[in-house]
Amino acid sequence: MTDMADRDRKPGTEQDQWVVARRGKNIAIFSTIIALAVLFFVITILRMS
């Protein structure tokens, strides 16, 4: 249902730019958290061995 609403809107509106910026920010935060978690596990495993 949301696809139809997105298709009806004109591209390049301020709301689209805000959604894209918010999505990019969320991806950056999510990838940073994953990178820190992986780094923590790698350091922990290397210490144990």
What are the pLDDT digits (tens) for 21-36? 888 899 999 999 999 9
Distances (CA, A) of 48 to 10, 34, 38, 39: 56, 21, 15, 14
Amino acid type, 31? S
What are the pLDDT digits (tens) for 33-47? 999 999 999 999 999
Q: Which of residues 36 and 3 earns the better pLDDT score?
A: 36
pTM of the model: 0.57
At residue 23, the pLDDT reads 87
Tokens of 24: 């990019």
- Written as one string, the DSSP assignment of 18-44 is HHHHHHHHHHHHHHHHHHHHHHHHHHH
At residue 13, the pLDDT reads 76
